Chains A and B, each alone.
Chain A
Amino acid sequence: DTAVSQTPKYLVTQMGNDKSIKCEQNLGHDTMYWYKQDSKKFLKIMFSYNNKELIINETVPNRFSPKSPDKAHLNLHINSLELGDSAVYFCASSQEPRGSYEQYFGPGTRLTVT
């Protein structure tokens, strides 16, 4: 039973398209996150939601829009995809947003924009 799942695992699309990545956690956690791991392997936080409310919104182009329909789901929608959006996107969750709570990561979605 996967704790944090993401779909799809791989996504290949053309520039200018709009795409969504879905994330679900069955751990009963209150907080969910989206991270981006680029070609240099930096793992950078993009967004965080706590109880469906946005609490972290890093400097991310507004083409990226997270949506949390409930505590167990955090989806990422990307408009007008660009070559530089190619990366691995990880969803994660934690019991609470405080730093003392470890995060559980999904398997990642490898996005390739051509």
Chain B
Amino acid sequence: DQQVKQNSPSLSVQEGRISILNCDYTNSMFDYFLWYKKYPAEGPTFLISISSIKDKNEDGRFTVFLNKSAKHLSLHIVPSQPGDSAVYFCAASGGTYKYIFGTGTRLKVLA
């Protein structure tokens, strides 16, 4: 039972445009959400997070939106750059010490 789902395995976007990566979850106990970026042959690196008491968090070109009623979060990257090409994982945590990760979305930013 996959509690955190990223239904789009891949996404291609033109440089300078907006990239929107989506994530859905099923467990209403989740209260903290994170996005990680992963380049090939490297470990995931933390990008941005959001607490369930907020619906938006912004950090430079990256914004995460949380819709608790829909159990949905999204990561917006504006403007997208070729260096943003990577696999993006969303992760959720709540009530326990562990994170549940999604399966990732591969973003390709075309120059």
Contact = CB atoms under 8 A, between A and B. Distances in A.
A97 B97 contact: yes
Interface of B: 31-32, 34, 36, 41-46, 49, 51, 87, 89, 92-94, 96-99, 101, 103-104
Interface stretch (A11-19, A59-67, A73-81, A103-111): A103-111
A47 to B, nearest CB: 10
Contacts of A108: 41-43
Contacts of B104: 41, 43
B contact patch SS: strand
Interface of A: 4, 31, 40-45, 48, 50, 55-56, 58, 90, 92, 97-100, 102-108
Given A43-B89, A99-B31, A100-B51, A105 B45 contact: yes
A104 B46 contact: yes
A102 B43 contact: no
Contacts of A104: 45-46
B49 A106 contact: no
Given A43-B104, A44-B101, 11 more contacts: A31-B97, A40-B103, A48-B98, A56-B98, A58-B98, A92-B43, A99-B97, A100-B93, A102-B49, A105-B45, A107-B42
Contacts of B46: 102-104
A99 B93 contact: yes
A103 B94 CA distance: 15
A106 B43 CA distance: 5
Contact of B43 (A4, A40, A99): A4
A43 B43 contact: no
A98 B99 CA distance: 9
Nearest to A48: B97
28 contacts: A4-B43, A31-B97, A41-B87, A42-B101, A43-B44, A43-B104, A44-B101, A45-B98, A45-B99, A50-B97, A56-B96, A56-B97, A56-B98, A58-B98, A90-B43, A97-B97, A98-B97, A99-B92, A99-B93, A99-B94, A99-B96, A99-B98, A99-B99, A100-B32, A100-B51, A103-B99, A104-B46, A108-B41
